[in-house]
Structure 1
Amino acid sequence: MARLLHLNGAPGVGKSTLAQRYAAEHPGVLACDIDRLRCFVGGWEDDFAGAGAVIRPVAQAMIAAHLDGGRDVVLPQMLADEGERAGFRAIAADAGHDYVHVLLRAPRGVAQERLYGRSADDPLHAVVRAEIDAAGGAAAVDELDRRLALSAEGAAGVILLDAGAGPAATYDALVAALG
């Protein structure tokens, strides 16, 4: 049985960093970073949300195929809406695979500091920062984190991890939590 490991959390909390390390240390695991896949859709810089809507079904098909091949997938994607999470959970569960939801949280200000500390040389990071700025900047990151925490309160089986200590400590905590 394969496993879909969903790393959820506010922008800048470390989802992609953890996913990359997890895949690097677990041969055969697919790190399916939807934000990176958006970059393959023409015009993504001007319509980030629209590119996400276009690429999400493609990502879901990739995830399903990889799981059905008996290999794990790690999904670093902020999904604050239970309906969106349910769609990804169903991809795994309907085919008899496990879905593990990990919510990464950091003390106030940490995710924003990481988000705004990323290199502006990466076009994806520049677009994500612009999207966050348009939504209210640091206050928007706080609001997203609050929404994620509220949605996790009522959800069964969510693994909560403190991502404030940095990538290495968070990775160690993730591996320990997964057993």
Structure 2
Amino acid sequence: MPRLIHLNGPSGIGKSTVARLYADRHPGVLDLDTDQLLPLIGGWRDDFWATLPVGRRLAVAMAETHLRAGHDVVLPQLATALDEVEGFEAAALAAGAEYREIVLTAPKQHAFDRYSARASVVDSSPHRQIDDILAEHGGLRLLDRIHDHVAGYLALRPACTVLDTEGLDPEQTYAAVETSLSWRFF
């Protein structure tokens, strides 16, 4: 049975890095990074917050298509509200696939340090551009609010797996994700 593996968690926690590692090591898996879809939509930088739901809807359609073909999808996407994941859950169900949500977490200061370190990297990737948009909208203050929203969201999602990534490098986080995916829920 194909799986939609949703890697959730605050910005800068390592979702995209782990998703890329997972896809690289599992042929046929779609690394469906919504941050990579947004730049395909005209005006996304000018109205990021309005474009984000459009990107999610595109990602839902892509996920369902790939799952129906019998392949796994790994989705590195922050979600802090139920309506942000319902489409992905419905796509998995419609495709006869399993939906697995893994939330990557770390104490706030550790997450802030990771995010800040990322800010010093100079590149023109969509992730960098999104970090610039987040900085314009409050930077660490916004990340603090996101952390609180993720904590509140977790109370609504008892079936998701939570992985504390403090002290883990990307390879160790990847290994923890792999281990959690081997667990079966009945």
What TM-score comes out, normalization by structure 1 length?
A: 0.92
The CA distance in 1 between the partners of 2:23 and 2:161, in whole Å, is 19
CA deviations 1:70-113 (Å, max 9, x no partner) are: 00000000011111112211110233210001111012222222
The CA distance in 2 between the partners of 1:126 and 1:4, in whole Å, is 26
**SS class of match (2:40):** coil
- Residue equivalent to 2:109: 109
- Residue equivalent to 1:163: 165
The CA distance in 1 between the partners of 2:111 and 2:124, in whole Å, is 18
Q: Does 1:11 align with 2:11?
A: yes
The CA distance in 1 between the partners of 2:128 and 2:152, in whole Å, is 28
Q: Does 1:172 align with 2:175?
A: yes
RMSD: 1.6
% identical equivalent positions:
39
- Could you tell me whether the CA contact under 8 Å between 1:116 and 1:129 is conserved in 2? no
The CA distance in 2 between the partners of 1:104 and 1:81, in whole Å, is 16
The CA distance in 2 between the partners of 1:81 and 1:20, in whole Å, is 24
Return the letter of the residue paired with 1:69: A
What TM-score comes out, normalization by structure 2 length?
A: 0.89
Q: Does 1:84 align with 2:87?
A: no
Structure 2 segments unaligned to the other structure (5+ residues): none
The CA distance in 2 between the partners of 1:156 and 1:139, in whole Å, is 27
Return the letter of the residue paired with 1:144: I
**SS class of match (2:115):** helix
Cα–Cα, structure 1 residues 29 and 123, in superposed 2: closer, same or farther, change >3 Å?
A: closer
CA deviations 1:146-171 (Å, max 9, x no partner) are: 21122112323110001222211111
- Could you tell me whether the CA contact under 8 Å between 2:31 and 2:75 is conserved in 1? yes
CA deviations 1:121-178 (Å, max 9, x no partner) are: 2242343223322332212212212211221123231100012222111111111111
